[in-house]
Structure 1
Amino acid sequence: MNFIAYDGSGIDGGLYTRVLGWADGAPSWLDQLIKVWSAIGLGLFALFMLYAWWRARSADSVVMARVLASPVIVVVAYAANSVLKGLVEENRPCQQLNVRNTLEACPGAGDWSFPSNHSVIAFAAATALVFAYRRIGWYAYLAAALMAASRVWVGVHYPHDVAVGALVGVLVGLPLALLAGRAAPLVDRLRGGPLGPFLGTGPAPAFGVAGR
């Protein structure tokens, strides 16, 4: 049984078609830039995580635990979203409204629209990272917002798909990111073993307060 109608156009179909009109009237270079970003931009979040890991090698174990948890949090958020997609089974707007001039090819039947996987992944990653390094996290949130907007611009999602996707990413990511710091004792132990070169040694003890 579905919780909402298969046809999501009654929610914000008008806004969706307006955004497509903006895309149609935009310069070609801008459309192509957004299209490329929408297709491969999720890779930037992997780079954010990699950079956070590199910095965390010299940070305390709480930070490293949160950084290491970030890809796990993304996977959990994606899995939760897949369940939600299967419950709702909302048709893509380009299918429902029979739109043929979208920047990205319209996904086939059965590739459900609600919520947006791209938004979930991006916002879950940003939520995980902001607890490790605030500045990296806020940059990731900005990138996540641009990713969400791009999915509507290229024509494969309604605005409500990406908005709820962002919400799912944050709601799944928030409690898991808070819990991740509790794995710090495990990171401490692993840093003294074969994984030490990968996990780093943490911050140097303060002068006169060795072992702190």
Structure 2
Amino acid sequence: MADKRSIRRDIKKLQRVKTWQLLILLILAGFLSATFLRLNNTGMVQRRNAVAAADKVGDTQQITERLAELQRYTTAHMNASSSVIYLQHQYDRDAQAAIKAVSNTSSEGATANARAEAVCHPQYSGWSTAYMQCVLAELAKYPTSDKLAEPKLPNTELYRYEFVSPLWSPDFAGFSLLLVGFLVFIIIVRLISMGILRILLRRHYRLI
């Protein structure tokens, strides 16, 4: 009898907090966690857009500062990986400078460069990878007495960036996710405990 009363007392203790109440708390915690994770991602997108804007303007110092801000934010917040960022405008500017540096080394080269730009400029609104390829193709059509040297274009990998966020971070998103995990653990333990106590109670009745 003592064992039966003890088992029933344990069951009543577990029943003080209903499973449906824990499920409601779990849903609320899940919504809260999803909101904070979304905010982390939004913060990353804002900083990534700032990098793109600085790249378009062409201020090297500003580009460096925006990249540093993005890196600091990404490495400190979960769900904030930046994906691949390519400084296309900066690459085009540096590639343009490299081509002009070669083509302007002589009067023949300057003439060839002017002709190439005259052909390609009407086809493209501004400097881009396609425009650069057009200029190179046109320059190849105008061999000069002192053959133009092949432009040394920048390494594209130097303009590629990617920052990865941690799997967990000590911020609102991280702690709310821990709360979700804790509630899931409590619900599972509660269900298992209730099941074990009911099995023990049934066995006790069979032995009487």
Q: Do both share a fold (TM > 0.5)?
A: no
Higher helix proportion, which one?
2
- Give the shorter-chain TM-score range: under 0.3
TM-score (norm: length of structure 2): 0.27
